[in-house]
């Protein structure tokens, strides 16, 4: 039985089910059977999303069985303009019709020159005028590996700093810096978050503790961590559960690394090209990293990955890093068209405005359904954490309703407004545990700590994802326990489509809450 796509903005209380023609259904099921029999057991999305896409445009995908879906996965954030956007298709056709070579290794071409020019036009101030670009293998993980190799060559050091919950790719070096590493040769640091703060504090004080821990690791000669070749961080942890880094903490990391001559690598593979409401997510905090790792949306839906870095780091010898498929002309043309369209049509501002509106509506839904533990995000990178209802934990003390004095901050996180850099650095470790302290501004008062949040519920999250799919909505799961429902719609999503997405998600959450005896808050 199939669910027909509801027109954007239409109420989702009722769903019309239609029977697919037997031949169509048989072809669909046959393809899925053959995939299961012949493809690797490592396949992921295909397990949770048993669909066979045959046509797509914008936010919408049509499957081989005739069902239509609203796609809020967007190629894991790759499709900034959605599926088959006209400007992307035109750019690809132009290259194909020109007779230009499609494979050129690292040779200079007009297509590459246009791509680099557009890319440099968007880079943060302070980097574009003194930058070099390295084209890598076609995946984001290849760019991460290249960045590690770069800073190691430039500094003569070997170790790396990364953060708990990080995801940087699936090759060996990238995995070592990711949250699920099993053979750790990278020093792991705490990443600030509110709902599950590792220090039980949250807000600016939790971020301050995380920063102090980083300083201690670097400055303590007995910490066991030698001076590293670089630090890599995500401005918003995506796979880690959609956790936006506080802007003041980002500036603090920039100061910590700069003061110690440690190159700072910003992983913008998923956050880049307008996703978070700024063209690059580091722009929210105003920092300029030494290295930026870019992929996904910069290829306009096709494989492309690059590393952009300060020219002082460019110490490589010819051939020190290479990649057979680093000169993908179609991806460069599609990427140029995508970046230009985002820049010229104000889609970053659109992502910021619409994302804030969607977050507000989802926080309203969280007050209605207790299986929603937290809602967070930045721009059109949104996460809804699904938790066990009534299984322990409690509300955070001293927390106001979202939007109040202790509500969402400038990064879209609930749990207290972020302070300035000075606020982030003012309180000492004694303050963080509730003891008194003073600084130049006078006494610092530490608010009460937060109660433990309810346990994450991967089971209910899978149920929500399944119910979304039944209603024609594709969402991804992420987070530490795969319990965060992630929304990554294209930046071109309309207001009506956003309403339809939220209606379907709300309907799915309600169905899961009813079906599991979990309830309404």
Confidence of residue 2 (pLDDT cuts 50, 70, 90): very low
Predicted pLDDT at 180: 58
Given the DSSP bridges, would you call strands 230-233 and 264-267 parallel, antiparallel or unpaired? parallel
Query: What does the alpha-carbon distance between residue 211 and residue 426 come to, in Å, rounded to a whole number?
Result: 11
**Out of 115-119, 434-438, 513-517, least confident range:** 434-438
One DSSP character per residue, 266-329 reads: EE-TTTTTTTTSSSSGGGGTT---SEEEE-GGGGTTS---EEEEEGGG--PPTTSS--TTTT-H
Query: What does the alpha-carbon distance between residue 156 and residue 419 come to, in Å, rounded to a whole number?
Result: 36
- Residue with the bigger pLDDT between 393 and 171: it is 171
Q: Would you say 472 and 70 are in contact if contact means Cβ atoms under 8 Å apart?
A: yes
Predicted pLDDT at 12: 35
- What's the Rg (C-alpha) of the chain? 23
For range 363-368, the mean pLDDT? 95
Query: What does the alpha-carbon distance between residue 235 and residue 119 come to, in Å, rounded to a whole number?
Result: 19
pLDDT of 107 > 60? The answer is yes
% of the chain at pLDDT higher than 70: 80
Confidence of residue 435 (pLDDT cuts 50, 70, 90): very low
Give the number of other CB atoms < 10 A from CB of residue 329: 22
Query: What does the alpha-carbon distance between residue 450 and residue 318 come to, in Å, rounded to a whole number?
Result: 54
Q: Would you say 149 and 312 are in contact if contact means Cβ atoms under 8 Å apart?
A: no
**Burial of residue 65, with CB atoms counted within 10 A of its CB: 0-12 exposed, 13-18 middle, 19 or more buried:** buried
Predicted pLDDT at 291: 98
% of the chain at pLDDT higher than 90: 67
Instruction: Show the tokens assigned to 453.
Output: 């949040």
Confidence of residue 115 (pLDDT cuts 50, 70, 90): very high
| Interval 249-264: pLDDT, tens | 999 999 999 999 999 9
Predicted pLDDT at 450: 64
Confidence of residue 481 (pLDDT cuts 50, 70, 90): very high
**Out of 213-222, 312-321, 428-437, least confident range:** 428-437
Residue with tokens 């680099």: 116
- Residue with the bigger pLDDT between 355 and 182: it is 355
pLDDT of 370 > 80? The answer is yes
Query: What does the alpha-carbon distance between residue 292 and residue 264 come to, in Å, rounded to a whole number?
Result: 9
Is the dihedral angle over the CA atoms 365, 367, 370, 371 positive or is it negative?
A: positive
Backbone angles phi, psi at 187, to 5 degrees: -75, 130
Predicted pLDDT at 154: 96
Q: Would you say 391 and 454 are in contact if contact means Cβ atoms under 8 Å apart?
A: yes
Dihedral, 59, 62, 68, 73 alpha carbons, nearest 10 = -40
| Interval 261-301: pLDDT, tens | 999 999 999 999 999 999 999 999 999 999 999 999 999 99
Query: What does the alpha-carbon distance between residue 38 and residue 340 come to, in Å, rounded to a whole number?
Result: 40
Confidence of residue 76 (pLDDT cuts 50, 70, 90): very high
Q: Would you say 453 and 446 are in contact if contact means Cβ atoms under 8 Å apart?
A: no
pTM metric for this prediction: 0.84
Of 393, 128, 355, 365, residue with least CA distance to 236: 355
Predicted pLDDT at 443: 36
Give the number of other CB atoms < 10 A from CB of residue 420: 12
Of 113, 180, 170, 112, residue with least CA distance to 143: 170
For residue 421, give the DSSP letter.
H
Given the DSSP bridges, would you call strands 2-3 and 160-163 parallel, antiparallel or unpaired? unpaired
For residue 297, give the DSSP letter.
G
For range 171-191, the mean pLDDT? 69
Query: What does the alpha-carbon distance between residue 188 and residue 186 come to, in Å, rounded to a whole number?
Result: 6
Highest mean pLDDT among 259-268, 320-329, 425-434: 259-268
Query: Facing residues of 369 across strands?
Result: 520
Predicted pLDDT at 24: 75
Residue with tokens 């599991």: 516
| Interval 207-228: pLDDT, tens | 999 999 999 999 999 998 999 9
């Amino acid at each position: 039985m199939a669910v027909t796509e509801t027109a954007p903005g239409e109420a989702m209380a009722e769903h019309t089910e239609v029977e697919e023609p037997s031949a169509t259904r048989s072809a669909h099921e046959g393809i899925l059977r053959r995939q299961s029999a012949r493809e690797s057991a490592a396949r992921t999305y295909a397990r949770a999303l048993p669909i066979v896409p045959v046509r797509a445009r914008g936010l919408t995908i049509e499957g081989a069985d005739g069902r239509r879906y609203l796609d809020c996965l967007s190629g894991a954030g790759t499709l900034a303009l959605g599926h088959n956007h006209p400007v992307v298709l035109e750019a690809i056709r132009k290259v194909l019709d020109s007779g230009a070579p499609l494979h050129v290794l690292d040779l200079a071409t007009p297509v590459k020159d246009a791509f680099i020019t557009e890319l440099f036009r968007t880079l943060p101030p302070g980097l574009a005028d003194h930058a070099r670009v390295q084209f890598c293998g076609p995946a984001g993980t290849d760019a991460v590996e290249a960045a590690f190799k770069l800073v190691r060559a430039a500094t003569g050091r070997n170790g790396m700093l990364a953060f708990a919950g990080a995801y940087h790719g699936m090759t060996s070096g990238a995995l070592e810096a990711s949250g699920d590493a099993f053979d750790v040769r990278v020093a792991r640091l705490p990443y600030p978050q509110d709902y599950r703060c590792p220090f039980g504090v949250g807000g600016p004080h939790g971020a301050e503790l995380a920063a102090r821990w980083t300083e201690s690791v670097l400055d303590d000669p007995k910490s066991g961590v030698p001076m590293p070749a670089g630090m890599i961080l995500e401005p918003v942890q995506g796979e880690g559960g959609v956790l936006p880094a506080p802007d003041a903490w980002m500036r603090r990391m920039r100061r910590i690394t700069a003061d110690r001559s440690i190159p700072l690598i910003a992983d913008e593979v998923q956050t880049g090209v307008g996703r978070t409401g700024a063209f690059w997510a580091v722009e929210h905090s105003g920092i300029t990293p030494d290295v930026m790792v870019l992929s996904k949306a910069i290829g306009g839906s096709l494989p492309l990955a690059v590393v952009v870095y300060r020219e002082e780091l460019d110490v490589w010898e010819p051939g020190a890093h290479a990649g057979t498929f680093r000169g993908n002309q179609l991806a460069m043309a599609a990427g140029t068209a995508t970046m230009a369209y985002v820049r010229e049509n104000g889609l970053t501002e659109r992502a910021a405005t619409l994302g804030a509106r969607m977050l507000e509506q989802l926080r309203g839904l969280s007050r209605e359904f207790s299986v929603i533990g937290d809602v967070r995000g930045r721009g059109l990178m949104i996460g809804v954490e699904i938790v066990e209802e009534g299984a322990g934990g409690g509300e955070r003390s001293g927390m106001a309703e979202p939007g109040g004095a202790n509500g969402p901050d400038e990064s879209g996180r609930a749990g207290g407004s972020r302070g300035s850099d000075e606020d982030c650095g003012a309180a000492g470790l004694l303050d963080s545990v509730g003891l008194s302290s003073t600084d130049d501004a006078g006494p610092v008062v530490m608010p009460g700590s937060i109660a433990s949040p309810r346990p994450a519920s991967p089971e209910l999250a899978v149920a929500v994802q399944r119910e979304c799919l039944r209603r024609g909505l594709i969402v991804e799961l992420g987070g530490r326990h795969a319990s965060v429902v992630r929304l990554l719609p294209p930046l071109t999503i309309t207001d009506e489509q956003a309403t339809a997405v939220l209606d379907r998600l709300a309907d799915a959450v309600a169905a899961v809450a009813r079906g599991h005896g979990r309830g309404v808050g």
